[in-house]
């Protein structure tokens, strides 16, 4: 079983073993694997250390616990572990433990039989089964309720699971990578997280530091996100040297995700191709950078939308924006509506779901999909 093949001491020693084995090519990994590491951009010593640790632990079966604040790159790191592992050809299945209603979490994890509980009208394949031969990414593991923790621990100990309502034990051929932005050890101290499970999951802990602790990574990341803007249907822009200095001074409470969003916003809204310090400062201060016409008083939503689309098409001149426009529009619009509805209902998800006309599970699914944190501070 996956835990036992790589004991704690062994795996930790591997990570601390120095950079010699950090070269994935030298380690004989699959073609394409180095790309997974290179996706984690940043020349800081901290990021180099993260990449080395990921490269060394990935080929083992050891469970990895990724810690770090929101937007620091935990999911990207989890994908790198998978891509660099012998399981790379198998599935990578993610489950956000904080986004699933507690009463459904076990059935999400292990699946259920028909009639296992009220509402279980058909058989459901759980994430453990879906991840067979691959990697199961348990995100926001700190939000897992205690009863589900107990069940997960049993599975990790025995290497077998049973579906909810099922009798037969099935082998769990899964490598578990988990992530949390909480201080798990503190949750253990408070009795909210099982200590034994913590040690099982955190055989190899890897920490993604907040961006403000690796400011030297900021310019390269900013340039990367600007280079990617055209793939999102946005114009190509570049940063003036003084703008990079402004970005480096910012504290980035939302970490890399905040930087990515800012760069997209600037790519979309700035007037000039070169982003200077003033434009970046204005964007950081929350002021709309100069560019598109301000909303007209009395404008309807349809008119505003049309104005936005007209500007988008105009930016592409004779060419068309990349295909998949509808999904990109929804990707931009849905989080706005979700966040507004949560703010308007003081974070009451049941009420927000009713307001939007969804049931609560649909709301949770959408929040998860769109990366809207229902517990984020209200505006």
Ligand X SMILES: Nc1ncnc2c1ncn2[C@@H]1O[C@H](COP(=O)(O)OP(=O)(O)OP(=O)(O)O)[C@@H](O)[C@H]1O
Distance, in Å, from the CA atom of 336 to the CA atom of 354, rounded to the nearest integer, reads 17
Choose from Mg ion, ligand X, none: what does 63 bind? Cβ within 5-8 Å by kind. Answer: none
276 counts as binding Mg ion under rule CB under 5 A:
no
User: What is d(CA 367, CA 99) in angstroms, rounded to the nearest whole number?
Assistant: 8
Judged by CB under 5 A, the residue of 8, 30, 49, 75 near Mg ion is 75
**Binds 260: which of Mg ion, ligand X, none (CB < 5-8 Å by kind):** ligand X
Least Å from the CB of residue 52 to ligand X: 14
Tell me if 40 contacts ligand X by CB under 6 A. yes
Site string for ligand X, 240-279 (x = CB under 6 A): ----------------xx--x-------------------
**Backbone phi and psi for residue 64, each to the nearest 5 degrees, phi listed first:** -115, 135
Nearest residue (beta carbon) to ligand X: 73
**365/7 Cα distance (integer angstroms):** 36
Interacting span for ligand X (CB under 6 A) from 52-60, 65-73, 185-193, 229-237: 65-73
Does residue 260 belong to the site contacting Mg ion (CB under 5 A)?
no
**CB 33 → ligand X: shortest distance, Å?**
16
Does the footprint of ligand X cover residue 42 (CB under 6 A)?
yes
Site membership for ligand X, residue 54 (CB under 6 A): no
Residue 126 binds ligand X, judged by CB under 6 A? no
Give the full edge-to-edge strand order of the sheet including 135-139: 92-96, 135-139, 175-180, 64-67, 204-207
If binding is defined by CB under 6 A, does position 71 make contact with ligand X? yes
- The answer to whether 97 contacts ligand X (rule: CB under 6 A) is no
Interface size with ligand X, residues (CB under 6 A): 16
Interaction with ligand X in 204-223: which residues (CB under 6 A)? 221
| Residue showing the smallest CB distance to Mg ion in the complex | 75
Residue 68 binds ligand X (CB under 6 A) = yes
Q: Choose the one of Mg ion, ligand X, none that binds residue 329, judging by a C-beta under 5 to 8 angstroms depending on kind.
A: none
Q: Does 74 help bind ligand X (rule: CB under 6 A)? A: yes
**Under rule CB under 6 A, residue 85 binds ligand X:** no
CB of residue 60 to ligand X, shortest distance in Å: 22
What residues contact residue 11 under an 8 Å CB cut-off, 6+ apart? 57, 60, 62, 203, 204
Query: Which sign does the torsion angle of CA 210, 214, 216, 217 carry?
Result: negative
Nearer Cβ to ligand X, position 63 or 73? 73
Q: Which is nearer to ligand X, 123 or 229 (CB)?
A: 229
Q: Which does 256 bind (CB under 5 to 8 A by kind): ligand X, Mg ion, none?
A: ligand X
Chain contacts with ligand X (rule: CB under 6 A):
40-42, 68, 70-76, 181, 221, 256-257, 260
- Interface with Mg ion (CB under 5 A): 75
């Amino acid at each position: 079983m996956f835990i036992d093949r790589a004991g704690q001491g062994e795996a930790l020693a591997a990570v601390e073993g120095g950079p010699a084995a950090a070269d994935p090519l030298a380690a004989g990994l699959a073609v394409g694997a180095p790309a997974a590491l290179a996706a984690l951009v940043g020349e800081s010593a901290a990021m180099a250390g993260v990449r080395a640790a990921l490269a060394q632990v990935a080929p083992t079966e050891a469970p990895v616990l990724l810690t770090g604040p929101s937007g620091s790159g935990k999911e990207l790191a989890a994908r790198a572990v998978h891509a660099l592992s012998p399981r790379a050809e198998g599935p990578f299945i993610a489950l956000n433990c904080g986004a699933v209603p507690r009463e459904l979490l076990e059935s999400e994890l292990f699946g259920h039989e028909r009639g296992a509980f009220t509402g279980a009208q058909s058989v459901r394949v759980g994430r453990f089964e879906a991840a067979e031969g691959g990697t199961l990414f348990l995100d926001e593991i700190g939000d897992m309720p205690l009863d589900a923790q107990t069940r997960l621990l049993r599975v990790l100990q025995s290497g077998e699971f049973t579906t909810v309502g099922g009798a037969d034990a099935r082998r769990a051929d899964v490598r578990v990578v988990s992530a949390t932005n909480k201080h798990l050890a503190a949750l253990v101290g408070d009795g909210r997280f099982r200590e034994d499970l913590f040690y099982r999951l955190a055989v190899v802990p890897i920490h993604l530091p907040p961006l403000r602790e690796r400011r030297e990574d900021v310019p390269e990341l900013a340039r990367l996100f600007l280079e990617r803007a055209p793939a999102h249907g946005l114009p190509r822009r570049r940063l003036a040297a003084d703008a990079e200095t402004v970005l480096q001074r910012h504290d980035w409470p939302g970490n890399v995700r905040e930087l990515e969003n800012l760069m997209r916003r600037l790519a979309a809204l700035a007037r000039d191709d070169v982003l200077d310090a003033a434009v970046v400062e204005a964007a950081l201060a929350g002021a709309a950078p100069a560019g598109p016409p301000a909303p007209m008083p009395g404008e309807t939503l349809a008119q505003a939308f049309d104005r936005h689309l007209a500007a988008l098409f105009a930016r592409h001149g004779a060419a068309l924006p990349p295909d998949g426009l509808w999904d990109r529009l929804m990707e931009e619009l849905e989080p706005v509506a979700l966040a507004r509805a949560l703010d308007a209902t003081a974070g009451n998800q049941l009420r927000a779901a009713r307001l939007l006309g969804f049931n609560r599970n649909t709301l949770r699914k959408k929040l998860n999909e769109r990366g809207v944190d229902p517990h984020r501070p209200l505006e």
